Amino acid sequence: MKYKFIVIVFLFVSHVYAQEHFVVDNNESNTTIIGTSDLHDWETDVEKISGKATLKPGKGDVLNIEAMEIIYWVKSFKSGKKTMDELTYEALREEKYPKIIYSINPVEIKGNINVAVLGNLTIAGVTREITVNGSVTNTGSELNITGEHTFNMTDFNIDPPTAMFGTISTDDQITIAFDLRMVPEE
């Protein structure tokens, strides 16, 4: 009986330590929000991205992502136009909801391939289950995650920003394009 307990403890400890933890490398990651308005197309860069992932080793080229959460800090959205940035912060209710969060459900990825990942996207306090298409590459020393997702702001109860007393308005549909680098947590 004593040996059975030791084997169970060993297996549990081995399982816990077999997990790998990765974090977003903000300096090497890029995310851009792309949209249109009555006047022109526009882009906003996200300057502060954080997040983490827990991986469980798989057999061969299988990558098991047990959990992942990516955080985009709304106040770090920069378009190069102060007024547009302020309208964006207001539309996203940044003071109450300073983060946009995407968290995924556990997923098994075979090889370095294109994937469709189901998860929850929370914007301005509204959470929707969405599928994001992208590519995940595991180099052994980092994860590279790229892709994009298009959706309507009104899906998250966000009124598309307007300017000049409503004479200029942004379209409802936007695209988030991302290129994330995740490195082992130290």
Least confident piece of the model among 59-63, 118-122, 149-153: 59-63
CATH of domain 20-184: 2.40.128.110
| Helix, coil or strand: residue 102 | strand
Torsion 158-46-68-10 (CA) sign: negative
Sequence ranges of the domains in the chain: 20-184
pLDDT in tens, 27-62: 999 999 998 876 678 899 999 999 999 988 777 667
Residue whose pair of structure tokens reads 């959706």 in the numeric block: 151
Q: Which backbone phi and psi does 18 adopt, to 5 degrees?
A: -75, -15
- What is the rounded distance in angstroms from the CA atom of residue 53 to the CA atom of residue 180? 12
Q: What is the pTM of this model?
A: 0.83
- What is the rounded distance in angstroms from the CA atom of residue 80 to the CA atom of residue 85? 8
- Please, how many CA atoms are within 13 Å of residue 9, restricted to the half-sphere of its CB? 6
- Is the pLDDT confidence value at 73 over 90? yes
Mean pLDDT calculated for residue range 78-94: 90
- What is the rounded distance in angstroms from the CA atom of residue 101 to the CA atom of residue 70? 6
Q: Where are the alpha helices (DSSP H) in 132-183?
A: none
pLDDT for the residue 111: 62
pLDDT for the residue 60: 66
